Amino acid sequence: MTPSWFAQLPVPPVRSPVRLERLAWPDAAHTLQDVLLLPVGAMEQHGPHLPLHTDTVIAESTCQLASALTGAPVLPALGYSVSLGHTVKWPGTFSLFHETLMLTVREIAQWAADTGWNRLLIVNSHYGNDAALRCAVDRLRHDLGGNLLTATRNTWDLTPEIAGRFTHDAADWHANEAETSLMLFLDPAAVVKERLSTADDPDRTMGCVFPHRVAHTSLNGVTGRPSLGTVEQGALLISRMGDALADLIQKARVEHPPLTWAP
């Protein structure tokens, strides 16, 4: 199944993504030697104009585009994750604790290893997941060793250029221009466009020593300038994100530890 937005990309891919859940097991077995992708998003408020599943759409879309470019298989996205910092001020946020996400990822990885995959790349689109996912990878590195090479990458900083696109209107960004542009392209029907012009809210975290919760730094759940978002910028940004992830997949396919060691 090819996402409808593929056709609107500057350079549309020539094949569909490999979505693992749509394969029968003999066909899934044909992907065992490839890099398995696990998108991780969130279910949380994204200001008055973006849907609650924004991070999940971005993670899944980046993986689907990279899969279409490389043929790497994609697992279904994890849509609940660590959104504690967004508090209960704005309805719609549902959060796991860090240890829950860590355990969930570790159990998925264990099944991947036991089934026969030996490379797993976790693709995250929610900042609050970063610490838990890095800890999960460190534990998997200890538990599984070379049986399953595992890494985590964040969609918003796959390259310095991409990172600059996310941070140009806010250092501690959320539901900002970049995310709004992406959603205007990926799922325009889910964006409440009439609220865009009044959704901007500045970054109030500059100079802070402590990591304050979003309810203490934003009036409406936004940090940045979503009013600047455009469909054209969203198409260009997701293209660059997909290309960057595809480059990582190609490297991950052939990477081995620089040295050999057996305990």
* β-bridge pairing 73-74 and 149-154: unpaired
Does residue 84 sit in helix, strand or coil? helix
Measured CA distances, 103 to 41, 100, 133, 136 (Å): 16, 5, 10, 7
- Residue 263: is its pLDDT beyond 80? no
* Cα R_g (the chain), whole angstroms: 18
For residue 261, the model assigns a pLDDT of: 85
pTM of structure: 0.97
Spell out the residues 6+ positions from residue 203 whose beta carbon is closer than 8 angstroms to its own: 170, 171, 172, 173, 217, 223, 224
The DSSP symbol for 30 reads T
- Cβ burial 78-105 (10 Å sphere, 16+ → b, else e): bbbbbbebbbeebeebebbebeebbebb
The rounded distance, in Å, linking the Cα atoms of 57 and 179 is: 10
Query: Is 33-203+211-254 in CATH node 3.10.20.30?
Result: no
Residues 23-36: tens digit of each pLDDT: 999 999 999 999 99
Instruction: Please tell me the predicted confidence (pLDDT) of residue 17.
Output: 98
Average pLDDT, the chain: 97
Does position 56 have pLDDT exceeding 80, yes or no?
A: yes
Cα(79)–Cα(201) distance, rounded to whole angstroms? 26
Residue-wise pLDDT for 107-163, tens only, equals 999 999 999 999 999 999 999 999 999 999 999 999 998 899 999 999 999 999 999
Compute the distance between CA of residue 164 and CA of residue 187 in angstroms, rounded to an integer. Answer: 23
Predicted pLDDT at 145: 85
pLDDT in tens, 185-216: 999 999 999 999 999 999 999 999 999 999 99
Local confidence band at 75 (pLDDT 50, 70, 90 cut-offs): very high
Q: Which amino acid is at 239?
A: S
Give the Cα separation of 217 and 258 in Å (integer). 44
Tokens of 169: 């209107």
